[in-house]
């Protein structure tokens, strides 16, 4: 197979679109609460409006996922991603003239756009994969899209280094940052608009979208999906942690350095390195993932995250997720090197979890990819919404307790679902093998009968 066949080129272009979108969105997510905190000094915004904005995004995202599959089917995955990326652009533009009500309204719009852009991505990816290329393509897509963290981190570091040491982010800097973010979101819209048609398109009954929504609910209550709900939920909780809560802890921990906004950028770079490293590793393993087992990789991802949570406990003050503080960490004085290592490991573990979930869904639900990915994002966004909603009142150590418990439970659920899926695949493959043997035997017998008849008639 050529290195860059059409399906691979499609996935690469898809990755470029998501790189552009999330260079902007992930970068702003790292600094949103710090930007809001700076702007709140003028009295026009609530100091925790950033947390509330993110909570609204994921709340609408959750509800919208119930109808994301038919919307994507009507628009097609390509145009669904175009519409979704425009919603991101509208949200980013709002920071050029910060207004609390526009912030909340555009957050709701972004939640809708996010549901269809992610469901569209999952559907488009599935329609450009085979059993042999699923793991490679999903890992490649993840590495490309998450490399946006690295690029965004470098960009933020340059901007904040030029700005100099300051706890506050001036309006001029905010305007520069969000002008770039808005332009990048618009560029991604054009990248999606020029996507080719999927190489392995699904055949869908376009006459009954109520049936399509019904099939999403039906899939939701299957045994596999009920167990996977806990897996998806954990990815939502840890997503809210590494994208919003953890960067805020760095920004609010004064003992880490005088220019904590520049440190946010360094953390983004480290998280990006972690995401890319895990995506590249999964991609290089390729077909070997089937031999190693997705459950083994999930075990690695879980172990990495548990190490991170321990590092966060010893390194950060318990109030660092809520306000600026000069206090000591749980066991030691806050250390920048530990904070950055933890950021990189957070990204590594997150990528392991997500690439293996992508691979599992593409393999297990090839005929219901839009429904499966919409449910994935439904549960993920619901728990992200909950985490951002309780973030303004919960100390860091309680966040860590929740993360430890849910990570262990999610890992156990994934192990079980992977095992039963593997067993069913083995049984099905064995059945097909025996069926082929019987078919070949019947053909051989029929051939001999025909040969004897010809001989006798001759």
Give pLDDT, residue 289: 60
* Domain range enclosing 388: 6-451
Q: Does residue 145 form part of some domain?
A: yes
Residue 156 near residue 264 (C-beta atoms within 8 A): yes
Give pLDDT, residue 434: 46
Give pLDDT, residue 410: 95
Q: Does residue 422 form part of some domain?
A: yes
Give pLDDT, residue 427: 45
Q: Does residue 427 form part of some domain?
A: yes
pLDDT digits (tens, 9 = 90+) for 357-379: 888 887 888 777 778 887 888 89
DSSP for residue 253? B
Residues of the chain with pLDDT under 50: 1, 426-441, 443, 445, 447-449, 455, 457-458
Q: Which two tokens stand for residue 437?
A: 């043997």
197: region left, alpha or beta (phi > 0 left; psi from -120 to 50 alpha): beta
204: region left, alpha or beta (phi > 0 left; psi from -120 to 50 alpha): beta
Q: Does residue 1 form part of some domain?
A: no
Residue 326 near residue 252 (C-beta atoms within 8 A): no
Query: How many domains does the chain divide into?
Result: 1
Strand partners, 253: 325
Which CATH number is 229's domain given? 1.20.1250.20
Count of other CB atoms within 10 angstroms of residue 30: 27
Residue 32 near residue 53 (C-beta atoms within 8 A): yes
Q: Does residue 457 form part of some domain?
A: no
Give pLDDT, residue 84: 94
Give pLDDT, residue 234: 95
Give pLDDT, residue 439: 45
Q: How far is CA 1 from CA 4, 7, 241, in A?
A: 8, 11, 41
Residues in the chain: 458
pTM of the shown model = 0.74
Q: Which two tokens stand for residue 240?
A: 């809210």
């Amino acid at each position: 197979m050529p290195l860059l066949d059409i399906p691979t080129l499609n996935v690469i272009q898809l990755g470029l679109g998501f790189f552009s979108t999330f260079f902007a969105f992930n970068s702003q997510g790292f600094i949103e609460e710090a930007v809001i905190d700076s702007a709140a000094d003028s009295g026009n915004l609530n100091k925790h409006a950033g947390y509330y904005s993110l909570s609204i995004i994921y709340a609408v995202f959750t509800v919208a996922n119930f109808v994301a599959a038919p919307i994507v089917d009507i628009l097609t995955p390509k145009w669904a991603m175009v519409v979704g990326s425009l919603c991101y652009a509208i949200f980013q533009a709002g920071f050029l003239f910060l207004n609390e009500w526009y912030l909340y309204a555009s957050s709701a719009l972004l939640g809708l756009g996010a549901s269809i852009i992610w469901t569209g991505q999952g559907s488009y990816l599935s329609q450009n994969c085979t059993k042999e290329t699923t793991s490679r393509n999903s890992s490649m897509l993840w590495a490309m899209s998450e490399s946006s963290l690295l690029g965004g981190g470098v960009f933020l570091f340059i901007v904040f280094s030029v700005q100099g040491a300051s706890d506050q982010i001036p309006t001029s800097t905010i305007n520069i940052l969000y002008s770039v973010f808005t332009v990048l979101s618009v560029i991604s819209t054009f990248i999606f608009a020029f996507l080719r048609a999927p190489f392995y398109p699904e055949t869908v009954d376009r006459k009954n979208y109520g049936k399509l929504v019904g099939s999403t609910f039906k899939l939701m209550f299957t045994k596999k999906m009920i167990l996977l709900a806990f897996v998806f939920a954990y990815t939502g909780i840890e997503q809210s942690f590494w994208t919003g809560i953890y960067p805020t802890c760095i920004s609010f921990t004064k003992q880490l350095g005088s220019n904590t906004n520049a440190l946010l950028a360094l953390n983004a770079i480290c998280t990006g390195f972690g995401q890319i490293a895990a995506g590249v590793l999964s991609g290089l393993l390729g077909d070997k993932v089937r031999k190693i087992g997705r459950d083994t990789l999930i075990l690695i991802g879980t172990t990495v995250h548990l190490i991170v949570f321990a590092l966060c406990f010893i390194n950060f003050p318990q109030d660092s997720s809520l306000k600026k503080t000069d206090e000591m960490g749980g066991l030691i004085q806050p250390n920048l090197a530990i904070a950055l290592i933890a950021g990189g490991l957070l990204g590594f573990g997150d990528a392991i979890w997500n690439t293996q979930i992508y691979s599992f869904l593409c393999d297990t639900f090839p005929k219901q990819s839009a429904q499966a990915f919409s449910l994935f994002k439904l549960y993920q966004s619901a728990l992200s919404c909950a985490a951002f909603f309780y973030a303004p009142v919960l100390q860091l150590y309680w966040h860590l307790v929740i993360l430890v418990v849910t990570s262990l439970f999610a890992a156990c659920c994934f192990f079980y679902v992977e095992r039963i899926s593997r067993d069913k695949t083995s049984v099905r493959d064995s059945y097909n093998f025996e069926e082929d043997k019987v078919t070949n035997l019947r053909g051989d017998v029929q051939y001999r009968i025909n040969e004897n008849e010809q001989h006798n008639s001759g």
